[in-house]
Amino acid sequence: MRIRHGTKDFRRTNLALFAAGFCNFSLMYCVQPLMPTFSATFGVHPAEASLSLSLTTGVLAFAMLVCGALSDARGRKQVMKVSLLASSLLTLVTALMPSWHGLLLMRTLMGLSLSGVPAVAMAYVSEEMHVDSVGLAMGLFIGGSAVGGMGGRLLTGVFTDVFGWRAAIACIGVIGLAAALVFWRTLPESRHFQARRLRAGALARTLGELLRERGLRWLFIEGFLLMGTFVTLYNYIGYRLLAPPYSLSVSAEGAIFAVYLVGIFSSTWMGHVANRMGRRKCFWSAFVLLLAGMGLMLLQPLAAVVLGLAVVTFGFFAGHSMAASWVGRRAPHSKAQASSLYLFAYYMGSSLAGVAGGLFWSRDGWLGVTLFTAVLTVVGLFGALRLIAIPPLATSRNTPIHGGAAQ
């Protein structure tokens, strides 16, 4: 029997997945508000400072292609437990690195360790949750990711002003260990998981089959564009806010990331709405919101910039929640590999666009960053409209129709 909302197992599962998302994303993004600090401390260009995040997400993208298959052989919970523990310990080591290249090495290894959660958690939800609860469960997991992303950025900013950036990163590592312990103790064991041997040839064939599915291909592209836009804006907003006319402190800049709370609401709410109305009717709106938020962020008043960042955050998490659950619905089999491919594209967007955005920042400032991300978003809107025209997959007895059509 699959887990449904309103039950004890649903509450335990979502507490565990919330903790996993919090741990994973606080450790991943704690360096983002520190990029201007890295530029000043190590004398590196903004695009080079962005490598502290882009190397992590780039390695993460490739590693997840293997982690999904590894979890098929070893089990979902086991892979996620090891991932969370290793990532927390590597964060503690990162705080001790004396050189820029040593710090980048640790952040590269973080990409390997962090890869054991995102795709595997999506597969766990798809396997263990009743279809009526998948959208809500995925939204809550992404909500935990939003809290982690916000907490990692916000706390790092505050701790840096008080204790210095090394102590700030170490504190985030300790918080990650605590979240990993919560996950370890509360996630129910898999009931519908069936172990499969890890074979490279079979994995390659499976990935090829998934890439030939037209709807999935577009969803992978959408993940690249959503994350590329979002991370680029967040990477370089710090440079803008620390400079005149704002001249914010690192802690005040970090506090701006409290707008991530909007993402907690939008991912959960839009995931639930999309389950009822159908993703085709909702998905395009995420890109419209991104464009509207970027327009607000072009204005000079700090209030307009913060409001625009909140609108961008709402649109991003709404789009990601819908796309992530849609991948699980459209994949006829090998859901872990389908999730891995989606997240491969998603994090490659973070890695490639995040660095490219630094070149636009250096040349044209915030206007250059806005134009670059606006182009990505318009392409994403086109893709969302194309997805409306792609016929839904045939439904089965175990996959009820929501919103008038299968996803």
Using one digit for the tens of pLDDT, what is the confidence trace for 198-219? 666 766 777 788 888 888 999 9
Report whether 177 contacts 20 (CB < 8 A). no
CATH of domain 199-390: 1.20.1250.20
Q: Tokens representing 236?
A: 């370089």
- Domain regions of the chain by residue span: 1-195, 199-390
Please tell me if the domain spanning 1-195 has the same topology as the one spanning 199-390: yes
Specify which residues 36 forms β-bridges with. none
Rg over CA atoms, the chain: 20
CA distance 36 to 31: 10
Tell me, what's the pLDDT at 400?
34
> Higher confidence at residue 289 or residue 73?
289
**What is the CB-side half-sphere exposure of residue 169 using CA atoms within 13 A?**
25
407 pLDDT band, cuts 50/70/90, is very low
Per DSSP, the three-state class of 390 is: coil
pTM over 0.85: no
Confidence of residue 403 (pLDDT cuts 50, 70, 90): very low
| Residue bearing tokens 């701790």 | 159
Q: CA-CA distances (angstroms) from residue 236 to 46, 239, 342?
A: 8, 5, 25
Architecture of domain 1-195 in this structure: Up-down Bundle (1.20)
Structure tokens at 272: 């639930």
User: Worst-scoring range by mean pLDDT, 12-16, 170-174, 326-330?
Assistant: 326-330
At residue 402, φ and ψ (nearest 5 deg) are -125, 140
Find where tokens 């502290």 sit.
Answer: 52
